[in-house]
A and B are shown apart, each in its own frame.
Chain A
């Protein structure tokens, strides 16, 4: 079983749609959680950290459920520019190592 698993995608949605990505992690001792965004042929960039109480940044909402070892990302009012691969990332307690999910591809169509 992979340490971090994500919905395989691709997700094809129209502009304005709401889309949700899910991610599960296997190590209950995981300390920190992030969503990264990666555009085609570009490097991953931090989209947002995920906090225990849940957090929101504009159209993006991240939630964490430690009991179920589950992370989610909700994107409201999708824009064409949201098209990218979204990586679920978990940091274990071994000195800063990040474990990356395979990513979920999102394509927002006009």
Chain B
């Protein structure tokens, strides 16, 4: 069974702090993704990565950066946290291939509150 693990279920940080959200998958997946989910807006893609040291902007990358130093780990970084980044953050991974029918497997999510 695929396992996608996010480092924290709940996190509270202050405005202006640098925040790291970690995600690890154990299935040797090439593709990894970070989403945020907000009421009324659904899931929105922040960044994704096809391979180590590779990253692509999603639909809402502003205020975020990512790091993929190892295949199994994909980190989301809030450079200077703001209150509008309070959200549920979901990491996902999948097998590669743009035409692949492989689904994405999600972590449990991190509920981040910025005060």
Contact = CB atoms under 8 A, between A and B. Distances in A.
B75 interface: no
A96 B94 contact: yes
Given A43-B108, A44-B43, A103-B42, A94 B103 contact: no
- A: contact size bracket: 20 to 34
Interface of A: 31-32, 34, 42-46, 49, 87, 91, 93-98, 100-103
19 contacts: A43-B90, A43-B106, A43-B107, A43-B108, A43-B109, A44-B90, A46-B103, A49-B103, A93-B99, A95-B56, A95-B98, A96-B31, A96-B48, A96-B97, A96-B98, A97-B45, A100-B42, A100-B44, A101-B42
B42 A94 contact: no
Contact of B100 (A42, A96, A103): A96
Question: For B48, B56, B98, which residue has the most chain A Cβ atoms within 10 angstroms?
Answer: B98
